[in-house]
């Protein structure tokens, strides 16, 4: 095994144990452990210390204490190592993070949290695991789920105008059934494309405390805890987990943009918070045949109200340059840009939020499509996957590039899609071709499941649409 080195950050915890040290002194890790930003040689571990393992009112209160992670390649933790002690403090929402570098590629690691009110009287948490990316030399089969639209309020209470759509299953207290379906498909990884929480859903979150509460209620669900114990995540944010619907960075309405950016980085394992220059756009070489790109769609965008044209951008100049440079450098057979918002659509015509909206950022979207075509990416296995839209679809842009929308994870947050040729869509002239789209009466929560597999030295990429119970609706296979 390679020499292991650590970059230590603040952290949060994962298990259902508690430490009793007298009345009012119990300590828990009520949200479970999380792993993020898996590469072929690094990972971010995260946990949160709490005063209980159940909601108190509408929140899960944090607890001050100390914790460290223990890691090993054997589940008995022989020949393992531990991080330094890390302190859970109110300023960090009692979250603990540790970024660990110089891991071996394509290797299963086991980890657990050691924690307590102090570093002497401690408990050892549940054993969790993750597997590093295979890397460019391996053709091992990999699979991952892509999700969006985890609207807590719609799941439990139904949409504001359709309360009857609230989930009614006997397993409601466990959380979103789609998380169980994803776990049963045994993916290597999961990509959250944004709208992980809804700050603007009633009761709206305007302050840091209220924003944190949205995440706490989400992550205490047992199905999240069970999934995160086995499946690493990659995190993007969109409008609802930045500020509010279709937001940009302009001030004047709370929560402000800086607070939204910082809270996202605090609540999920996405960046090293000690790195002031950390960016939330990145690319990962998954294996020999697959590379993914995760762009940032909120931090650098121009005002939505700006007239569309060369000066208007979602990505900003530096991110665009990075995106084009890394795409040109890639020799992966399959390349997937996983965008928080659609690049092909169609979408609702009234919007001004994304690259397909006529009043939005269409100039930048068209310019990027032209650049892709000019650089022969139609022949380089390039595809879009996206979140944001509340329906699943497979669309083909007039230029030939294909997009797969994962649809909303929560059934009560899904809706029928806009079809090509609809005058109320961004494609009134029906220039977009749709081999598959959720139509009226077919709306369902679910996810997109992606698999790259090599047989007889021939790699195959499969996009599969599943409903919230894991039933497959449609598949597209690419060679």
Assess whether pLDDT exceeds 80 at residue 372. Answer: yes
Half-sphere exposure of 423 (CA within 13 A, CB side): 0
240, pLDDT greater than 60: yes
Over the range 308-346, which residues count as b (16 or more CB within 10 Å of their CB) and which as e? beeebbbbbeebbebbeeebeebebbbbbbbbbbbbbbb
d(CA 74, CA 108) in angstroms, rounded, equals: 8
Q: Name the residue among 399, 355, 412 with its Cα closest to residue 373.
A: 399
Q: Which residues, 6 or more positions from 439, have their beta carbon under 8 angstroms from its beta carbon? A: 416, 417, 419
Summarize pLDDT for 391-405 with one digit per residue, the tens.
999 999 999 999 999
- Do 206 and 248 meet the contact criterion of CB atoms below 8 Å apart? no
Which pLDDT belongs to residue 441?
62
pLDDT of residue 16 exceeding 60: no
**For residue 276, what pLDDT is reported?**
76
Q: What's the mean pLDDT in 311-325?
A: 98
Predicted local distance difference test score (pLDDT) of residue 274: 74
What is the tens place of the pLDDT at every residue in 242-269?
999 999 999 889 999 999 999 999 999 9
Which residues have a Cβ under 8 Å from the Cβ of 407 and sit 6 or more positions away? Answer: 148, 149, 389, 390, 391, 392, 393, 414, 438, 444, 445, 446, 447, 448, 465
Closest residue by Cα to residue 18 from 113, 139, 98: 113
State residue 444's pLDDT score. 83
pLDDT of residue 4: 42
Q: Identify the three-state secondary structure at position 171.
A: coil
Q: What are the tens digits of pLDDT across the range 267-284?
A: 999 998 778 789 999 999
Q: Where are the beta strands (DSSP E) in 269-391?
A: 282-285, 290-294, 334-339, 382-386
The length of the chain in residues reads 479
pLDDT tens string 350-364: 999 999 999 999 999
Task: Please give the domain boundaries of the chain with CATH numbers for all domains.
Answer: 5-131 (2.60.40.380), 142-478 (3.60.21.70)
Sign of CA dihedral 132, 136, 140, 144: positive
Average pLDDT for the chain: 93
% of the chain with per-residue pLDDT over 70? 94
**Predicted pLDDT at 22:** 34
Q: Where are the beta strands (DSSP E) in 117-181?
A: 123-124, 128-131, 142-147
Question: Contact at 8 Å (CB) between 82 and 29?
Answer: no
Q: What is the pLDDT of residue 20?
A: 37
H-helix or E-strand spanning residue 87: strand 86-88
User: Mind listing the pLDDT tens digit for each residue in 96-140?
Assistant: 999 999 999 999 999 999 999 999 999 999 999 999 999 999 999
| CA 236 – CA 312 distance, rounded (Å) | 21
| pLDDT at site 5 | 40
Give me the pLDDT at residue 272, please.
85
User: Is pLDDT above 50 for 58?
Assistant: yes
Could you give phi then psi for residue 44, rounded to 5 degrees?
Answer: -110, 125
Rounded to an integer, the average pLDDT of 8-18 is: 39
Q: What is the DSSP string of 210-276?
A: HHHHHHHHHHTSHHHHHHHTT--EEE---STTTSSTT--S-SSSSSPHHHHHHHHHHHSS-S-TT-T
Angle CA(71)–CA(142)–CA(315) in degrees, nearest 5?
Answer: 90
pLDDT tens digits, residue range 186-237? 999 999 999 999 999 999 999 999 999 999 999 999 999 999 999 999 999 9
pLDDT of residue 388: 98
Greatest distance between any 2 Cα atoms in the chain: 70
Query: What b/e sequence results for 271-286 when a residue is b if at least 16 CB atoms lie within 10 Å of its CB, and e otherwise?
Result: bbbeeeeeebbbbbbb
Q: Which of 66, 65, 62 is nearest to 93 (CA)?
A: 62
Over the stretch 402-432, which tens digit does the pLDDT of each residue have?
999 999 999 999 999 999 999 999 999 999 9
Cis (ω within 30 of 0) for the bond into 101? no
Do residues 264 and 270 touch, judged by C-beta distance below 8 A?
yes
pLDDT at 307 over 60: yes
| Total-model pTM | 0.95
């Amino acid at each position: 095994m390679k020499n292991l080195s650590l970059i230590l950050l603040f952290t949060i915890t994962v298990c259902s144990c508690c430490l009793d040290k007298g009345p009012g002194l119990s300590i828990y890790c009520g949200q479970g452990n999380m792993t993020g930003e898996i590469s072929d040689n690094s990972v971010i571990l995260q946990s949160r210390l709490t005063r209980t393992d159940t909601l108190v009112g509408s929140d899960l209160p944090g607890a001050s204490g100390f914790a460290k992670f223990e890691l090993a390649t054997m589940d008995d933790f022989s020949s393992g190592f531990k991080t330094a002690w890390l302190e859970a403090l109110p300023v960090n929402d009692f979250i603990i993070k540790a970024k660990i570098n110089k891991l071996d590629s394509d290797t299963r690691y086991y980890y657990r949290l050691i924690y307590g009110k102090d570093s002497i009287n401690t408990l050892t948490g549940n054993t969790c695991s993750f597997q590093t990316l295979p890397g460019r030399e391996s053709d091992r089969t990999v699979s991952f789920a892509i999700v969006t639209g985890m609207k807590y309020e719609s799941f439990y209470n139904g949409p504001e105008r359709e309360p009857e759509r609230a989930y009614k299953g006997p397993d409601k207290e466990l959380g979103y059934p789609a998380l169980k379906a994803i776990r049963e498909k045994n993916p290597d990884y999961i990509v959250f494309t944004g709208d992980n929480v809804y700050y603007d859903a009633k009761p709206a979150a305007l302050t840091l405390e209220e924003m944190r509460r949205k995440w706490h209620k989400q992550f205490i669900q047992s199905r999240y805890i069970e999934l995160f114990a086995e499946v690493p995540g990659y995190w993007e944010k969109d409008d609802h987990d930045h500020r509010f619907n279709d937001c940009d960075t302009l001030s004047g309405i709370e929560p402000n943009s800086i607070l939204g950016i910082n809270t996202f980085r605090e609540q999920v394992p996405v960046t090293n918070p000690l790195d002031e220059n950390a960016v939330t756009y990145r690319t990962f070489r998954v294996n020999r045949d697959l590379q993914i790109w995760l762009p940032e769609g909120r931090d650098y965008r121009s005002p939505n109200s700006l007239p569309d044209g060369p000066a208007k951008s979602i990505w900003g100049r530096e991110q665009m340059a990075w995106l084009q440079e890394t795409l040109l450098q890639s020799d992966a057979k399959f390349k997937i840009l996983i965008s928080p918002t659609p690049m092909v659509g169609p979408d609702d015509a009234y919007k001004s939020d994304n690259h397909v909206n006529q009043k939005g950022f269409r100039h930048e979207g068209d310019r990027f499509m032209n650049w892709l075509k000019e650089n022969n990416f139609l022949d380089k296995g390039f595809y879009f996957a996206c979140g944001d839209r509340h329906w699943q679809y497979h669309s083909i842009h007039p230029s030939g590039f294909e997009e797969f929308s994962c649809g909303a994870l929560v059934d009560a947050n899904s809706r029928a899609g806009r079809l090509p040729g609809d005058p109320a869509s961004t494609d009134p002239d029906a220039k977009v071709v749709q081999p598959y789209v959720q139509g009226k009466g077919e709306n369902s929560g679910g996810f997109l499941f992606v698999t790259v597999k090599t047989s007889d030295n021939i790699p195959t990429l499969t996009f599969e649409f599943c409903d919230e119970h894991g039933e497959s609706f449609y598949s597209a296979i690419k060679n």
